[in-house]
Structure 1
Amino acid sequence: MPEASFSRGAQHPPTAVPRADPPPSPTRVTRATAATGPTGLLASLAPLLTEWLPRQRWFAGKGRPVTGFALVSATELLPCATGGTTPGLLHLLVRAQQPEPPGHRHGSGCGHRRGAAASDCYQLLLGVRATLPPRLAPALIGRPSSGPLHGLTVYEALLDPRLATLLLERLRMPGTLGPLRFLCEPSAAIPSGLAPRLLTTEQSNSSVIYGDTFILKLFRRVSPGTNPDLELPLALAHTGCTRVPAPAAWFEAAPPVEGAGAGPRTDPFTLGVLQPYLADSTDGWQLALDALTTGDDFTEAAHALGRATAEVHLAMARTLPTSVLRRPQIEHLAAVMSERLDSAAAAVPALHPYRAALHTAYEDLAALGRAGRTWTAQRIHGDLHLGQVLRQSAGGGTGSDGAGGEVHWSLIDFEGEPSRPLDERRRPQPPVRDIAGMLRSFDYAAAVGGHDSPPDWAGRTRAAYCAGYAEASGTDPRDEPELLRAHETDKAVYEVVYEARHRPEWLTVPMSAIRRLAAART
């Protein structure tokens, strides 16, 4: 989502282990007892979750009915007592089963077998009380009519400050509880007593701010493997890079134990990351809109942001594996982009008139591969836009971001595009993909900010950003127009599908870029 401001926030290293392993509380709601029989935990919660889950902003399967649930794990973080006023806290990993989406292609990372129901695994934190106080009424999920929670009230736990505080305490004193493992960086100092508040902005995950000091990002749709929002900031912190807030603590879930012959055990699920909260910062999206409203120049800020992006790319290339894209990889990349365009055109008829012209962007890229052109691939941010960058200013000015300047840009939210499979998001890619995402974000800002001539404002800002990137990296993305156009086209096609599904009134923004890119044969 190119314009939204996401949370301030992140494979643990081999040396990262729990500092202490306190005796866990009894996990009385276990996978075995919860899943058995019609009165089991999951069976009793299923009617409630069928209604509640699709209404959540982070639910990925909108527009398709939920046909069933499968329990991955259930853990009591706080006992769910049947009497008294103390709330219980239940952690669930649940697979929501749905029909395949139209045009779905099976492959690595799709999460299900051909002919089987599609399923995504979701992390749920459920509060349990005998009676819900009025202040928590918006958190209500429902009252199970059977099972171990019969007669109790189940609600979204993150809206309950008492339960949100308990989650921070688990991260302060790492250890293992059932399938859950809480870990902490040895140098991290996490104080107790930090008041929590749940962010209510639209996100593909959930974030809790603790006392304007830390932010906990909880991944809602989870997969086996290390989430890049933990892996990349941790790796960058170990290089001394100051452009990305360093993870202080995180937690994960062991993969479920499958039956005999099920194959090798999968990797743990990354569930949440605690990072410093940059309370004195403003995200780039808001800064751009403010500049558009007041008529202030944004090119200096964009130039500094280009430098910051290049510094992060260089740090990732130094510390993480890179590869070289040769003819087979380049032709495959172009073919995948072409397939995405065809799928998008099938879903959004407005793309049809431009389909042939847009395909030339990918054909030109493949032709360069056949001619012997190569590019370096590395780990990248994966979903870079103005909502994923924060600017801190010691003096509140709009000065430079160089040595001794007042302004400092930080990059956040390295999860990548959540709709893509995790293994794809962790794959090395050309850095220009991040650059294309930011250039598209400038177009969004110009359109939404109401500039008299959005192409002029976006053009100046794009040029300043690329110049800043070239200054820090030694490589100007504009010097490889075929590569840049292909990635910008791929991003704009993604935006068309997103806006058509979620915000039809914004569809004109990416469609304007589609028309420009279709006419821009390099």
Structure 2
Amino acid sequence: MAKTQTATLRPYSLGPTSLLASLSGLLRQWLPRQRWFAGKGRPVTDLALLSVTELQPDFLHVLVRADHAEPPAMRGPGAAPAHDCYQLFLGVGESLSPRLSPAVLGRVTEGPLAGLLVHDALQEPHTASLLLERLRMPDTTGALRFERDWRVSIPTGLAPRLLEAEQSNSSLVYGDTYILKVFRRVRPGINPDLEVPWALARQGCTRVPAPVAWFRTSSPWDATLGVVQPFLRGGVDGWTQALEALAHGRAFEAEAYEMGRATAEVHLALAAAFPVEARGAPENRRLASAMTGRLRDAIHAVPELLPHASGLREAFNELSALRTPRPAQRIHGDLHLGQVLWAERRWHVIDFEGEPARPLPERRRARSPVRDVAGMLRSFDYAAHARRPWRPEWALRCREAYCAGYAAEAGWDPRAEPALLRAYETDRAVYEVLYEARHRPDWLPVPMAAIARLAERPGLRRLTP
């Protein structure tokens, strides 16, 4: 690595057990400070190195399991400590260039790496470039397999830069040509952010950038680790555009309408790429029961929900009472204004990973496209509340325009499914309450305003808190 002296002894070849003695103390301190660490506010109670692969001398790929206990206020009845598997790229050496000091985890004080400096190798240009080169010229290293679409040319010499805004993952942009998303939380199975864009590309859908390369592991289980896609140069996400419109008092209905059309176009392509199922009364009852269970757990963690519980359960009861079969298909799974980009004079849809906290089989399950619609409607509500004074009428106009655009492209209007739409929006708002209570308490009034509205049995049009 640039500016790093290679250690004469490479004790990490001894395996994960040996390495843990050296890395445990540093990782316990460093992991909770990372944006993508899911256990914020929860101490790391245990660590285990699941796999270690040497990509070049002193450049390690590591999968680590971190256990963390829930705070008492967030712990449900009988809850066990949570755990997650995280993907790390670590550099090991005797010294590091001062300009890379933000990447440093620290100097090891014990174990086989004692005296050596450890840093986050994704922040080091040389090792970041090496990672793209492995994807450009695929091979297998230990349990890691690097693969690509040979129909696409990946040039050499693309300068890497690490994006600062990424939250649940880490992304590297290479020469403003390609973007590599590194999945920080690793789950067994193929990640939807590879599976879905690949399937959409086979359908000729150009709203979603097609994968050009990816890498995966076979140990401790088969899992997707990262994916390379074309970088939408100059792209601006919908959240940024919405806040700019609000700040300048501009209407946003035209943009919302086109977002609705883009969403419907992607849904139609997904319905062609994956099986479509008919979900009748039994599935509606199971879905409503799961939503009611999540509400019950959320009330335990956030007592402010309790006064609204009866009205919220009513929304789920209406879903349970539906008898007419509805189509279920692959969807985005976590659609909001931050997941759409305006580039090349049109909206693109990105980030098909779904909610990282949920198991992959659940994220890959066929679900109603109304779930995606509800997610975007909640996002318009968030934008309207992001700046004072709150602008509920702005959100109402955007919601209507979005649904109208969706209907124009899809041939059916999500507003014609009021019980389904209300249930999904309520379930999303309950999730938001739990998230904000854990991570951003200052934002809690935003989903709580929606909770009060949804509990009063309003229609789609009533947005006033």
TM-score, structure 2 normalization:
0.93
- The yes-or-no answer on 1:72 pairing with 2:50 is yes
- The yes-or-no answer on 1:130 pairing with 2:94 is yes
Q: How does 1:105-504 map to 2 (within 5 A)?
A: 118-256=82-220, 266=221, 268-368=222-322, 372-393=323-344, 407-450=345-388, 452=389, 454-504=391-441
CA contact (8 A) 1:91 1:123 kept: yes
One-letter code aligned to 1:96: A
One-letter code aligned to 2:326: W
In 1, Cα distance between the equivalents of 2:111 and 2:56?
18
CA contact (8 A) 1:299 1:461 kept: yes
One-letter code aligned to 2:134: R
- Aligned match of 2:66: 96
In 2, Cα distance between the equivalents of 1:381 and 1:358?
25
In 2, Cα distance between the equivalents of 1:76 and 1:138?
23
Once the 2 structures are TM-superposed, how far is the Cα of residue 314 of structure 1 from its aligned partner? 0.4
Once the 2 structures are TM-superposed, how far is the Cα of residue 449 of structure 1 from its aligned partner? 3.8
Once the 2 structures are TM-superposed, how far is the Cα of residue 324 of structure 1 from its aligned partner? 1.5
One-letter code aligned to 1:46: S
In 2, Cα distance between the equivalents of 1:466 and 1:276?
29
Deviates more, 1:66-75 or 1:375-384: 66-75
In 2, Cα distance between the equivalents of 1:300 and 1:449?
21
**What secondary structure is seen at the aligned counterpart in 2 of 1:145?**
coil
- Aligned match of 1:520: 457
Q: What is the aligned-residue RMSD (CA, Å)?
A: 1.7
CA contact (8 A) 1:204 1:418 kept: yes
Once the 2 structures are TM-superposed, how far is the Cα of residue 201 of structure 1 from its aligned partner? 1.3
Once the 2 structures are TM-superposed, how far is the Cα of residue 230 of structure 1 from its aligned partner? 0.5
In 2, Cα distance between the equivalents of 1:42 and 1:104?
31
One-letter code aligned to 1:454: R
CA contact (8 A) 2:370 2:424 kept: yes
CA contact (8 A) 1:35 1:43 kept: no
In 2, Cα distance between the equivalents of 1:99 and 1:281?
39
One-letter code aligned to 1:512: A
One-letter code aligned to 2:405: G
- Structure 1 outlier segments of 4+, above 3 Å: 28-31, 99-106
One-letter code aligned to 1:47: G
Deviates more, 1:200-209 or 1:472-481: 200-209
- Stretches of structure 2 lacking an aligned partner (at least 5 in a row): 1-9, 460-465
Once the 2 structures are TM-superposed, how far is the Cα of residue 68 of structure 1 from its aligned partner? 2.0
Flag the 1:347–1:97 CA change in 2: closer, same or farther, 3 A.
same
Q: Deviations over 1:97-134 (max 9, x none)?
A: 2346754589xxxxxxx97x542111010012211221
Once the 2 structures are TM-superposed, how far is the Cα of residue 446 of structure 1 from its aligned partner? 1.1
CA contact (8 A) 1:29 1:76 kept: no
Once the 2 structures are TM-superposed, how far is the Cα of residue 335 of structure 1 from its aligned partner? 0.4
Q: Deviations over 1:423-480 (max 9, x none)?
A: 1111110000000000000011111144x56221111110000000000001100001
- Stretches of structure 1 lacking an aligned partner (at least 5 in a row): 1-27, 81-88, 107-113, 257-265, 394-406
CA contact (8 A) 1:281 1:390 kept: yes
In 2, Cα distance between the equivalents of 1:444 and 1:364?
25
Specify which of 16, 21, 28 is matched with residue 35 of structure 1: 16
- Aligned match of 1:13: none
Q: Deviations over 1:300-337 (max 9, x none)?
A: 11111100000000000011122111121110100000
Flag the 1:328–1:296 CA change in 2: closer, same or farther, 3 A.
same
In 2, Cα distance between the equivalents of 1:136 and 1:521?
54
**What secondary structure is seen at the aligned counterpart in 2 of 1:429?**
coil
**What secondary structure is seen at the aligned counterpart in 2 of 1:75?**
strand
Flag the 1:280–1:162 CA change in 2: closer, same or farther, 3 A.
same
Q: Deviations over 1:219-238 (max 9, x none)?
A: 01101100001100010011
In 2, Cα distance between the equivalents of 1:43 and 1:149?
9
CA contact (8 A) 1:357 1:519 kept: yes
CA contact (8 A) 2:21 2:112 kept: no
Flag the 1:105–1:239 CA change in 2: closer, same or farther, 3 A.
farther
CA contact (8 A) 1:224 1:255 kept: no
One-letter code aligned to 2:347: W
CA contact (8 A) 1:29 1:75 kept: no
One-letter code aligned to 2:128: A
The sequence identity of aligned pairs, in percent, is 60
**What secondary structure is seen at the aligned counterpart in 1 of 2:368?**
coil
CA contact (8 A) 2:12 2:19 kept: no
CA contact (8 A) 1:222 1:269 kept: yes
In 2, Cα distance between the equivalents of 1:70 and 1:129?
22
Once the 2 structures are TM-superposed, how far is the Cα of residue 145 of structure 1 from its aligned partner? 2.2
One-letter code aligned to 2:249: G
In 1, Cα distance between the equivalents of 2:60 and 2:16?
15
**Whose relative contact order is higher, 1 or 2, with alpha carbons under 8 Å and at least 6 apart?**
1
**What secondary structure is seen at the aligned counterpart in 2 of 1:188?**
coil
One-letter code aligned to 1:304: E
**What secondary structure is seen at the aligned counterpart in 2 of 1:221?**
coil
